[in-house]
Amino acid sequence: MALRYVVLDFDGTCTQIELVQAGFLADYRTLLEDANGSARGALEPAWDTAVARVRAASPDAGWTLGGAPSTAPAAADPYILAGEASALLQRDGMIRLVPPDAYARAYAANPAPWRPEVPEVLAGLVARGLGVGFVSNSDRLAIEMRLTDVLHADRALRRRIAVHGHAAKFTLAELPIGSTGPGAAHRSRFEALDGAVRAPGIVRPIYLRRGAYFEALCRLWRELGATDYAIADTLVCGDIWELDLAMPRALGAHVHLVRRAPPFDTYPYELAQLAPGEPSTDLRGLLDHVDRLRGAAG
């Protein structure tokens, strides 16, 4: 089958989280201090200890947002790490509460810059005749605004890029009974997925059945003009194996992983899931991967 679509994650995949992670974590801690009546800086020793404990436990410890058993490594990026560290502080009795808007406020105050190669790569994908879109946990309008800004010199290119936010890739969920969303037509494909798989190098299972993410993929295909189940013609690009790539790979998609930069390096078990040429240190490797797939198909 010919490659027709490329689906991109946003945070970490197309942005340089490593440049803002320290500010994000510091602001997050300050918000915890304010919410719990602590003096500025008072929580720093306990916070640093909690962060270190989460880092040491990850990737065997997983992201537990929304009561999920684990949906990504607990220290895969600063956004996940902050949530797991604050939950640990609550369990230890060091804080009473976590403000529900702590993540959103710290995130907004520390926008990660785009990878410098993003405009070049997006233009290259579109020039190759591919349908291109983002599927992200982040807010759709926020991504669209930033995309419009980075592509301000090429409005025609911007119009070719679709964006779907609030994908809830971290949610382990079945497709609801009576669902009429775009995934409903392909329910049997989703239901054929295993619930979880094991991977060498990590003690916890990798959970695959992420119904909201499946719906987001199907919705994106429809927006890009697909009238069929286009998984075999799709290349999904992300930076966290479990969150972005494990389910699409199990469904039959091609995948590409952009390696995370220190201090949130990609874990060895993630790289072990990939063939040569499927990971790269930046997004230009995605273009090389596309060209190899198109050459193999031709």
Two tokens, residue 295? 């050459």
Same domain? 25 vs 127: no
Looking at the structure, tell me whether residues 154 and 253 fall in a common domain.
yes
User: Whole-angstrom Cα distance, residue 24 to residue 4?
Assistant: 37
285 vs 2: which has the higher pLDDT = 285
Q: Are residues 126 and 202 in the same domain?
A: yes
pLDDT tens figures, 103-126: 999 999 999 999 999 999 999 999
> Does residue 152 share a domain with residue 33?
no
Cis geometry, peptide bond prior to residue 182 (ω within 30 degrees of 0):
no
Instruction: Give the residue-averaged pLDDT of 136-152.
Output: 96
Regarding whether 48 and 143 lie in a shared domain, the answer is no
Residue with tokens 């983002």: 134
Residues 213 and 243 in one domain: yes
CATH number at residue 171: 3.40.50.1000
DSSP 136-162: -SS-HHHHHHHHHHHTTT-HHHHHTEE
**What pLDDT does residue 2 have?**
85
pLDDT single digits (tens) 79-97? 999 999 999 999 999 999 9
pLDDT on residue 66: 78
Distance CA 287, CA 270 (A): 21
Examine residue 59 and say whether the peptide bond preceding it is cis (omega within 30 degrees of 0): yes
Alpha-carbon distance values, 26 to 54, 100, 285 (Å): 16, 17, 32
Range of the domain at 202: 5-16+113-297
Mean pLDDT across the stretch 174-203?
Answer: 94
The backbone region for 201, taken as left when phi is positive above 0, alpha when psi lies in -120 to 50, beta otherwise, is: left
Q: Is 277 helix (H, G, I), strand (E, B) or coil?
A: coil
**pLDDT tier, 143 (very low <50, low <70, confident <90, very high otherwise):** very high
Alpha helices in the chain (DSSP H): 21-35, 44-57, 78-91, 102-109, 118-127, 140-150, 155-159, 187-191, 211-223, 246-251, 268-271, 284-297
Examine the domain organization and report whether 142 and 281 are in the same domain: yes
DSSP 8-state secondary structure symbol assigned to residue 165: -
- Report the mean per-residue pLDDT for the chain: 96
Q: pTM for the complete prediction?
A: 0.96
Residue among 90, 85, 114 nearest 20 (CA): 114
Residue that wins the pLDDT comparison between 298 and 56:
56
134: helix, coil or strand?
A: strand
Give the per-residue pLDDT at 295: 87
Indicate if 151 and 279 belong to the same structural domain.
yes
Which pLDDT score is estimated for 92? 96
Q: What is the pLDDT of residue 296?
A: 78
How many domains would you assign to the chain? 2
**130/276 Cα distance (integer angstroms):** 23
Domain end: 85, 109, 133, which one?
109
pLDDT, position 67: 80
- Domain closes at, from 79, 109, 139: 109
Rounded Cα–Cα distance for residues 256 and 272 (Å): 13
Mean pLDDT, rounded, for 55-67: 93
HEC string of 166-216? CCCCCCCECCCCCCCCCCHHHHHHHHCCCCEECCCCCCCCEECCEHHHHHH
Are residues 96 and 135 located together in one domain of the fold? Answer: no
Beta strand 161-164 with 196-197 is: unpaired
The model's confidence at residue 1, banded by pLDDT at 50, 70 and 90, is low
pLDDT at 171: 93
Q: Are residues 129 and 268 in the same domain?
A: yes
Residue 4 has what pLDDT?
97
Residue showing tokens 């497709």: 175
Residue 215 pLDDT grade (very low, low, confident, very high; cuts 50, 70, 90): very high
In this structure, which amino acid lies at residue 279? P
Domain boundary among 67, 94, 109: 109
Classify each residue of 72-83 as buried b or exposed e, where b means 16 or more C-beta atoms within 10 Å of its C-beta.
bbbbbbbbbbbb
Please tell me whether residues 71 and 155 are part of one structural domain.
no
**Pair (215, 257) in one structural domain:** yes
